[in-house]
Amino acid sequence: MGKTYLQLHNDAKPAALLQAEIASTFWQRFRGLMLRAPLPPGHALLLAPCSGVHMCFMRFPLDIVYLDKDWRILKIVPHLRPWLGLSFCPKAWGVLELTAGEAGRLGLVPGQFLHSANSGN
């Protein structure tokens, strides 16, 4: 089965902010970005449902963006360190994993809503 992607945007920037690969099965979420190359700018991995991440076996730092079911940003953890990082947000429905620095570059902030161009969210 091929990878599934979403185009994410917000009200401040109607053009697509991110192309997010969806990790919806247990094994896809468990693996996340372990043992993969860093994502290019403008790309993310969406882990859903998910409320926490670990950085075991990771080779590069990540920005972690926690989302609720309405796609509102609850929390951003910038530059989570490889191998040592661990993060959790109990109210989160999903997590966007981005290459470190991307959340800041894109101007993402807690309270902001993201929308999916593919599903109308």
CATH number for 74:
2.60.120.1140
Please tell me the distance from the alpha carbon of residue 13 to that of residue 91, in angstroms, as a whole number: 26
**Is residue 121 situated within a structural domain?**
no
Domain count along the chain: 1
**Is residue 10 situated within a structural domain?**
yes
Q: How confident is the model at residue 12 (pLDDT cuts 50, 70, 90)?
A: low
Q: How confident is the model at residue 3 (pLDDT cuts 50, 70, 90)?
A: low
**CB contact at 8 A, 58 and 80:** no
Residue owning tokens 């991995």 = 45
State the DSSP H helix or E strand holding residue 27, giving kind and residue range, or none if neither: helix 26-31
Q: How confident is the model at residue 119 (pLDDT cuts 50, 70, 90)?
A: very low
Could you list the residue range(s) of the whole structural domain that residue 69 is in?
A: 5-116
**Is residue 12 situated within a structural domain?**
yes
95-120: burial string, b at 16+ Cβ within 10 Å, e else: bbbbbbebbeebebeeebebbeeeee
Please tell me the distance from the alpha carbon of residue 113 to that of residue 108, in angstroms, as a whole number: 9
Over residues 13-18, mean pLDDT: 68
Q: Is the pLDDT of residue 15 over 80?
A: no
